[in-house]
Structure 1
Amino acid sequence: MTEEPVGTLAGIARHAFPKAPMEVLDHVDVSVEAGLAGDFRGAVKPGGRGRRQVTLIERGDWEAAMAELGHAIPWQERRANLLIDGLDLPQVAGTLIGIGAQVVLEITVECDPCSRMETIATGLKAALTPDWRGGACSRVRRGGRIALGDDVVILDPLQGQLL
């Protein structure tokens, strides 16, 4: 039997409105209707698909970008919602990610870094561009509560089991 890859939820952040400061949390409720509780981007607009409800970034990717630029900027300045440690997130739309005992997110699209990254550090947008380094956007498939230290796993979309 082989060990299944398991990562850890290493960070949670949200912002109440566009351009608001990021609020770092140790736990949060997640719902299909609203994404992360209190995060402006999570609510699905009428007729919308919710493709950007929750954003995820890998700790290793953020650290690589920081090393490339010679900076030590806190991860939440990327404006992502979740920091994942120890798991290589698949770069495939439709991939299901399980967090904790209940939450399931579906990767929808690459989270392209915007020009706002340049206001944080010159060259940051370019450093986050290759190989999905800027993270992944997702929609909530099943809600629940998540907390720092929760396991993060890749789920089999057909069977709802670990791959």
Structure 2
Amino acid sequence: MISLRAIAYKTAKKGLMKPVFCANVTLLKGVENDIFGRPGKRQVTVMTELQWKLACNEISADLDWLTRRANILIDDYQFSAADVGKVITIGNDVSLLITGETDPCKKMEISHPGLEQALTPDWRGGVTCKVLSEGLIQIEDLVTISNK
């Protein structure tokens, strides 16, 4: 079973990620208080603990997941191109449409040498999502990934 491991948001464009135990996810704001949560294909970003660890192992570093600057961290899954169009359901209410891959950027390289390249293969950087249904999510909520 997949579960929600962590939630975070940023309030400023180059600001630090702020981890939270729970958050509202809305159609208009994505993860509550996130500066980039406006409606669109990249409203919420999701990554997996498994793929993050693969990237960190590749560069021999034990980095906090917040370094990636994603909104949501789940466990026990590996994203791929086959996931585009699938729906991530978190808890009882929140549904996110997977719209594409979250491409690693230069900020990753600035955070740690080699991190950008380590996140590039096999969708390790996670996925971008659009909010389909809103609600409250919290750490340890069950997560499902299914076809629409």
TM-score band (shorter)?
A: over 0.9
SS at match of 1:73: coil
Aligned to 1:25: 20
For 2:146, the aligned partner's letter is L
Is 1:35 the counterpart of 2:34 in the alignment? no
Match of 2:74 among 72, 77, 84: 84
Give the AA of the match of 2:14: K
For 1:125, the equivalent position in structure 2 comes to 116
The answer on 1:74 being equivalent to 2:74 is: no
**So what's the TM-score if we normalise by structure 2?**
0.96
The letter of the residue matching 2:25 is V
Where do 5+ consecutive residues of structure 1 fail to align?
1-5, 45-49, 158-163
1:101-141: CA deviations, max 9, x gaps? 10000000100000110111100000000010000000000
Question: Which residue is 2:5 aligned to?
Answer: 10
- Aligned counterpart, 1:135: 126
* Residue from 33, 45, 49 that aligns with 1:55: 45
Per the TM alignment, residue 90 of structure 1 is displaced from its structure 2 partner at its CA by 4.9
The residue type paired with residue 68 of structure 1 is E
**Percent identical residues:** 38
Structure of greater Rg: 1
Give the alignment's TM-score, normalised by structure 1: 0.87
Structure 1 runs of 4+ with >4 Å offset: none
SS at match of 2:110: helix
Q: 1:8·1:87 contact (CA, 8 Å) conserved in 2?
A: no
For residue 66 of structure 2, give the secondary structure of its aligned residue in structure 1. Answer: helix
The one of 130, 136, 141 equivalent to 1:145 is: 136
1:87 CA drift (Å): 2.6
Q: Residue 40 of structure 1: SS of its match in structure 2?
A: coil
Match of 1:100 in 2: 91
Is structure 2 residue 106 aligned with structure 1 residue 115?
yes
Distance 1:135 1:108, change over 3 A: same
Corresponding letter in the other structure for 1:145: L
Q: Give me the whole-angstrom Cα distance separating, in 1, the residues matched to 2:100 and 2:48.
A: 15
CA distance in 2 between partners of 1:90 and 1:147 (Å): 25
Give unpaired runs (5+ residues) of structure 2. none
* Counterpart residue type for residue 93 of structure 1: V
